[in-house]
């Protein structure tokens, strides 16, 4: 766990013996504003992972220029069978209990120091449960669009991440990178690893731009169509059919753009040498460790770091916090991601420096300037 002049400020571990809920909250840095980051629910989430993600949020928020600090939460969510003994109704009730138990145990910090949001296995429903438990509308963003309050005669409502703000931002980032690589987005081939909220909306918006998405992978395998994924192909992604390729095949396909859009460290020592893409757009948070990212950059890949590529989610969170509508939120996501992506990638191409190093320097400078005032 990295400790330096930037943080972390707080590492909170909570446990509810009644239901077996174990969770982590890391508030990394609040120099630029309240700590902001989503709640991740997986069987394997750890304190170390949450610390890494919280630091990523510190840089991301500083980089895209929104007045939030960095934070992240994690709840150890047992596998379906272990948690519910195969009863879906029990699963929903237990998940609500976990979210609300976690919310009550960290209530001291939110929203004074931390604002929650969606992440892996959490969405607008979970954010409503969280807010109901803290009894504070401002304690989380990514809430349902019909979950509203009135403030001085003005109505404020949730902006769920299910509207696709993160995937929308990933698509904008991919187009900027393609343009700088002199690849026409209308002729670009794309592979998307992960087809949840981020991957599915990146697919939607890139397809609207004219890109040809030739492969999509999830935990059940990879579907591939060199002529472009069709509606019929999409049906296969959710079914365990034999026509699918192995999941890791997605990394070795000869495409222009590869978008890892699932979980942490999906690009690793086992598959890094098989990558044939020209551009990687990091739709997921920390889809690879920094040493692997540097290796791929040295091989000539243009990499849009997660700090930029998936910032649409936290920009959307800020828009909700300010009370913006969906249209204004999407405009803000597009403007901020295109602007900072051009600055970072143009500098990378001009100086032959890793985009992440450039992005980090910008983010760190902004925090240090605030600290020195």
Per the domain annotation, does 317 fall within a domain? no
Distance between CA 245 and CA 217 in Å, rounded? Answer: 9
Question: Residue 284: its pLDDT value, please?
Answer: 93
Q: What's 84's domain CATH number?
A: 3.40.50.10860
- Does 132 lie in the same domain as 177? no
Q: How many CB atoms lie within 10 A of CB 174?
A: 30
Looking at 36, 60, 72, 156, which residue is catalytic?
72
Structural domain for 196, as ranges: 165-312+340-361
Say if residue 240's pLDDT is above 80: no
Say if residue 81's pLDDT is above 50: no
Output 160 or 81, whichever has higher pLDDT: 160
- Specify the number of domains making up the chain: 2
Q: How many CB atoms lie within 10 A of CB 308?
A: 33
Question: Residue 1: its pLDDT value, please?
Answer: 66
Least confident of 83-87, 158-162, 319-323: 83-87
- Does 146 lie in the same domain as 189? no
Q: Which residues contact 73 (CB under 8 A, 6 or more apart)?
A: 23, 24, 25, 26, 37, 38, 39, 40, 50, 102, 106, 114, 116, 119
Per the domain annotation, does 190 fall within a domain? yes
- At residue 74's C-alpha, the angle toward residues 71 and 80, to 5°, is 155
Per the domain annotation, does 321 fall within a domain? no
Domain boundary among 158, 191, 217: 158
Mean pLDDT of the chain: 93
Per the domain annotation, does 327 fall within a domain? no
- Does 242 lie in the same domain as 150? no
- Does 204 lie in the same domain as 86? no
- Does 199 lie in the same domain as 97? no
Question: Residue 201: its pLDDT value, please?
Answer: 96
Q: What's 256's domain CATH number?
A: 3.40.50.720
- Residue where the block lists tokens 């449960």: 129
Domain boundary among 158, 182, 197: 158
User: Could you confirm whether 95 is annotated as catalytic?
Assistant: no
- Does 181 lie in the same domain as 144? no
Per the domain annotation, does 34 fall within a domain? yes
Say if residue 2's pLDDT is above 90: no
- Does 132 lie in the same domain as 180? no
Question: Residue 153: its pLDDT value, please?
Answer: 81
Distance between CA 365 and CA 368 in Å, rounded? Answer: 5
Portion of the chain with pLDDT greater than 90, in percent: 82
Find the length of the chain.
373
pLDDT classification of 91: cutoffs 50, 70, 90:
confident
Per the domain annotation, does 22 fall within a domain? yes
- Does 121 lie in the same domain as 175? no
Q: What is the pLDDT of residues 242-290, one digit of tens each?
A: 568 898 999 999 999 999 999 889 999 999 999 999 999 999 988 999 9
- Does 193 lie in the same domain as 106? no
Distance between CA 98 and CA 93 in Å, rounded? Answer: 9
The average pLDDT across 164-170 equals 96
Q: Answer for the pair 222, 194: CB distance below 8 angstroms, yes or no.
A: no
Question: Residue 90: its pLDDT value, please?
Answer: 66
Domain boundary among 115, 142, 158: 158
Q: How many CB atoms lie within 10 A of CB 301?
A: 16
- Does 141 lie in the same domain as 283? no
Say if residue 107's pLDDT is above 70: yes
- Does 190 lie in the same domain as 118? no
198-232 burial string, b = 16+ CB within 10 Å, else e?
A: bbbbbbebbeebebbbbbbbbeebbbbeeeebeee
Question: Residue 200: its pLDDT value, please?
Answer: 94
Q: What is the DSSP string of 199-244?
A: HHHHHHHHHHHT-EEEEEEETTEEEE-TT---HHHHHHHTS--TTP
Distance between CA 222 and CA 100 in Å, rounded? Answer: 36
The average pLDDT across 298-313 equals 96
Q: What is the pLDDT of residues 335-352, one digit of tens each?
A: 999 999 999 999 999 999
Per the domain annotation, does 369 fall within a domain? no
- Does 33 lie in the same domain as 173? no
Question: Residue 30: its pLDDT value, please?
Answer: 98
């Amino acid at each position: 766990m990295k400790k330096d002049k930037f943080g972390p400020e707080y590492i909170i571990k909570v446990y509810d013996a009644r239901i077996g809920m174990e969770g982590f909250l890391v508030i990394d840095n609040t120099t630029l504003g309240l700590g902001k980051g989503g709640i991740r629910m997986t069987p394997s989430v750890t304190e170390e992972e949450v610390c890494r993600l919280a630091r990523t949020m510190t840089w991301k928020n500083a980089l895209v220029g929104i007045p939030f600090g960095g934070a992240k939460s994690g709840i150890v969510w047992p596998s379906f069978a272990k948690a519910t003994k195969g009863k879906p109704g029990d699963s929903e009730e237990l998940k609500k209990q976990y979210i609300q138990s976690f919310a009550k145990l960290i209530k001291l910090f939110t929203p004074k120091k931390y604002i929650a949001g969606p992440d892996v296995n959490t969405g607008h429903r979970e954010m409503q449960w969280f807010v109901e438990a803290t009894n504070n509308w401002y304690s989380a963003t990514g809430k349902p669009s019909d979950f509203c309050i009135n403030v001085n005669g003005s109505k404020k409502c949730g902006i769920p991440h299910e509207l696709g703000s993160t995937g929308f931002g990933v698509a904008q980032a991919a187009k900027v990178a393609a343009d700088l690589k002199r690849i026409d987005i209308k002729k670009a081939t794309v592979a998307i690893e992960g087809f949840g909220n981020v991957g599915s909306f990146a697919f939607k918006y890139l397809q609207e731009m004219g890109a040809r998405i030739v492969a999509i992978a999830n935990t059940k395998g990879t579907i591939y169509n060199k002529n472009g994924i069709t509606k019929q192909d999409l049906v296969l992604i959710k079914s365990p059919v034999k026509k699918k390729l192995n999941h890791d095949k997605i990394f070795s396909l000869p495409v222009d753009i590869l978008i890892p859009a699932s979980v942490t460290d999906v690009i690793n020592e086992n598959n890094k040498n098989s990558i044939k893409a020209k551009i990687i757009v990091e739709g997921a948070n920390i889809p690879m460790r920094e040493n692997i990212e540097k290796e791929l950059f040295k091989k000539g890949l243009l990499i849009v770091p997660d700090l930029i590529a998936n910032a649409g989610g936290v920009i959307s969170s800020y828009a909700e916090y300010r009370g913006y509508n969906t249209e204004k939120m999407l405009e803000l996501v597009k403007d901020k991601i295109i602007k900072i992506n051009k600055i970072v990638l143009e500098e990378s191409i001009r100086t032959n420096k890793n985009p992440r190093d450039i992005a980090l320097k910008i983010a760190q400078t902004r925090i240090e300037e605030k600290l020195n005032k």
